Chain A
Amino acid sequence: MARFVGRRLLLSLITIWLLVTIVFFISNVLPNDVGRTILGPFAPQESVDALNARLGTDRPIIVQYVDTLIGVVTLDFGDSYVNDDPVLPQLAAAIGRSTKLAGLALLLTIPIAIIAGLFAARRRDRVSDRAVVLLGVTSSSIPEFVTGTVLVVVVGVQLKLLPVLATPPPNADIPTQVRYLLMPAMAMAIVYFGYIARMTRAGTIEVLQSDYTRTATMKGLTTSQVMRRHVLRNALIPTVAVIAVQVGYLFGGIIAVEKIFNYNGMGQTMLFAAQRKDIPMLTAGVIVIGIVYMLATLAADMTIAWMNPRIRLDADR
Chain B
Amino acid sequence: MDFPKLDKVRRSAAPLQLDVVDAYVAGRLSRREFIQRGAIVGLSMGSIGMVIAACGGTTTSPSASGAAATSGASSGASSAPSAAGSPVSGGIIRIAGQRPVKVDPVTMEDLGGYGITSQSFEFLCTATNKDLVSIGPGLALEWAPNADGTVWTFKLRQGVKWHDGTAFTADDVVATMERLVTAGNSGLKGVLGPGGAVATDANTVTFTLLGANGNFPYLVSVFNAQSLITPKAYVAGTTFDKVPAGTGAWKLKTYNQQTGATFERNPDWWGGTTPLDGLEFIFFDATGPMVTAYQGQQVDAIIQFDVLSGKSLLDDANFNLISAPAALHRQIWMRTDTGAFADKKVRQALALTFDRPALIQTLFQGKAQLGNDNPIWEGYPYYDSTVPQRTRDIPKAKALLAEANASSLTATLHAGQLLEIPDLATLLKSQAAEAGITLNVAVESLNTFYGAQWCPKQVKPEDPPCFGAAELGIVDYGHRGTPDVYLNAALKSKGIWNSSQYGSTAFDTAFSDFQKAVGVDAQKAACNKMETILLDDTPIGLPYFYNYLAGSSKAFSGLYASGLGQMFFSAVSKTA
Contacts and interface: CB of A to CB of B under 8 A. Distances in A.
Interface in B408-448: 445, 447-448
B450 A170 contact: no
A94 interface: yes
Contacts of B451: 31-32, 36-37, 41
B497 interface: yes
Given A31-B452, A94-B258, A167 B282 contact: yes
Contact of A165 (B102, B286, B298, B447): B298
B259 A264 contact: yes
B102 A41 contact: no
Contacts of B283: 264
6 contacts: A41-B455, A165-B293, A165-B298, A170-B256, A262-B293, A268-B285
B447 A275 contact: yes
Interface stretch (A107-115, A152-160, A298-306): A152-160
Interface of A: 31-33, 36-37, 39-42, 44-45, 47-48, 82-83, 90, 93-94, 97, 152, 156-157, 160, 163-165, 167, 169-170, 259-262, 264, 268-269, 272, 275-276
Interface centre among A82, A165, A167, by most chain B C-beta atoms within 10 angstroms, is A165
B296 to A, nearest CB: 3
Contacts of A160: 296-297
Interface centre among A33, A44, A262, by most chain B C-beta atoms within 10 angstroms, is A262
A126 B296 CA distance: 42
Interface of B: 101-102, 109, 184, 186, 239, 254, 256-260, 262, 280, 282-286, 289, 292-293, 295-298, 445, 447-448, 450-452, 454-455, 457-458, 489, 496-497
A82 B239 CA distance: 13
Given A44-B496, A261-B289, A163 B296 contact: yes
Interface centre among A94, A97, A264, by most chain B C-beta atoms within 10 angstroms, is A264
B296 A260 contact: no
A223 B33 CA distance: 88
Contacts of B454: 41
Contacts of B282: 165, 167, 262
B570 to A, nearest CB: 23
Contacts of B258: 90, 93-94, 97, 264, 269
Nearest to B298: A165
A94 B257 CA distance: 11
A152 B296 contact: yes
Contacts of A94: 258
A157 B447 contact: no
A208 B258 CA distance: 50
A36 B457 contact: yes
Nearest to A264: B258
B262 A41 contact: no
Given A39-B109, A41-B451, A269-B258, 19 more contacts: A31-B447, A31-B448, A31-B451, A37-B447, A41-B455, A41-B497, A42-B497, A48-B457, A82-B101, A83-B239, A83-B257, A157-B296, A167-B282, A170-B259, A259-B285, A262-B284, A262-B289, A264-B258, A268-B285
